[in-house]
Amino acid sequence: MTEPRAHPSFPPASRPRQPWRLRTRSLHLGARTLVMGVVNLTPDSFSDGGRFPAPEQAVEYALRLLRQGADILDLGAESTRPGTQAGHPDHATVSATEEQDRLLPVLEMLRRERLEAIISVDTYKATTARAALAAGAEIINDVSGFTWDAAMPETCAAAPCGVVLMHTRGRPDEWSTQPQLAPQAVVATVRDGLARSLHRAHSVGIAAESIVLDPGYGFGKRGEENYALLRAQSSLLALGRPLLVGLSRKSFLRHALAARRGREVRSRAALEHASLAALTAAILAGASIVRVHSVAAAVEAASVADLLLEA
């Protein structure tokens, strides 16, 4: 009788366990996936812009995300979706003043309602970051990785606060015309860009323990480039910092579904299902934090992925 053939075990990434130092406290990363809930305060976000015309509505929504299991709330008051270049019909330039007018009332109300809530602010503007930190934000989530505002590194160092450095290839108005990258070039481009952002942070005195890195899915990566990046995501752990990923409702997921079905996908449910699949893959590839729109579903999916990592 022949011996049954041994099947290779599934090889999820080894996720580092380490503290993430924020402005007034620390989070322990790696033991389980943390869920960051998105609260868009914009009228033009690609996913759910314009949902909260009054601050009270945004606060109620944020509190609901906390009840559903969000560990962190990420407040954003300016859209950086593709196609927001000058001359585009949906273009809306947001000044720092307008961004803060949208953001600060919600942040201040949230602090009054839930002082213990951990609040991140999605901004690349140093003046907005400074105002948000003064109002009680713990984390600055800079989609440009300290490349769009020269004053941002010093602003975060002075707080000091938790920092998310995301990789972005170019500006939103360049994304649709950028040349395609080979799969190996995508990973190298992201790794080198994040390494430069890390160096910039360290050069102004931001401690490594305060920094989390984000590969920046969809930000200057087109279609299949995102899948090549996801497949090799665990290699970014060599930079020595935990990873945060945002895959929720990304357009490249919608396009993949459309290609499979041979028609445009309009169903929000289908996109949520694809988002959960990508989220699970990202956790198994070493992500410690996931940034999502649908918190309750993400908490459940992350629990299963975490069990796989533990096994």
* Catalytic residue set: 250, 291
Sign of CA dihedral 140, 219, 283, 294: positive
Do residues 132 and 104 touch, judged by C-beta distance below 8 A? yes
Per-residue DSSP letter, 214: E
Partners of 20 in the β-ladder: 27
| Unique residue bearing structure tokens 């049954």 | 4
Task: Please count the helices (runs of H) and the strands (runs of E) in the chain.
Answer: 9, 10
Could you tell me how many residues make up the chain?
311
Nearest to 229 by CA among 179, 202, 268, 191: 191
Angstrom distance (rounded) from CA 129 to CA 158: 11
Do residues 164 and 118 touch, judged by C-beta distance below 8 A? no
